[in-house]
Amino acid sequence: MKFTESLKKNFQFRYVYNRGRSIANRHLVMYVVKNGTQGNKLGISVSKKVGKSVVRSRVTRLIRESYRNMEDGLRSGYDIVVIARVICKDTTYEEINVSLRHLLKKQQLLRSQQPKEAGKEDEKEER
């Protein structure tokens, strides 16, 4: 079991925004940058545009829980910032989970998708 720290300070978030690669989908935006350590650091940003504090806290909990369930399958050594879009206020855990998995896969942070899947795709094309 890995342990992921939290990004808490404004300068930590700004560093990831300025240096990181970004990718987005309907529900979330994700910035990722290597941090040179053995563990990951996760920051979650939910704007007041999403809703009042109860709604923002719920969205934060959903994102954090979804990340926690995928944590064992992630590559290490990254700072990750996840930003919730306004549409997140009405979404379920399953939708957040699918969106987060999609972004992690696009950023190539999921361990299960490394060279093994690339080889499988090559085999399918040859047939």
For the stretch 49-74, pLDDT in tens is: 999 999 999 999 999 999 999 999 99
Global pTM value = 0.84
In eight-state DSSP terms, residue 107 is T
Q: What is the total count of domains within the chain?
A: 1
Task: Compute the distance between CA of residue 80 and CA of residue 40 in angstroms, rounded to an integer.
Answer: 7
Average pLDDT over residues 9-38: 95
| Residue 44 contacts residue 60 (beta carbons within 8 Å) | yes
Task: Compute the distance between CA of residue 72 and CA of residue 59 in angstroms, rounded to an integer.
Answer: 22
The domain that contains 14 carries what CATH number?
3.30.230.10
Q: Domain range spanning residue 69? A: 5-126
For the stretch 115-125, pLDDT in tens is: 444 444 444 44
Average pLDDT over residues 67-86: 94
Collapsed DSSP state (helix, strand, coil) of residue 1: coil
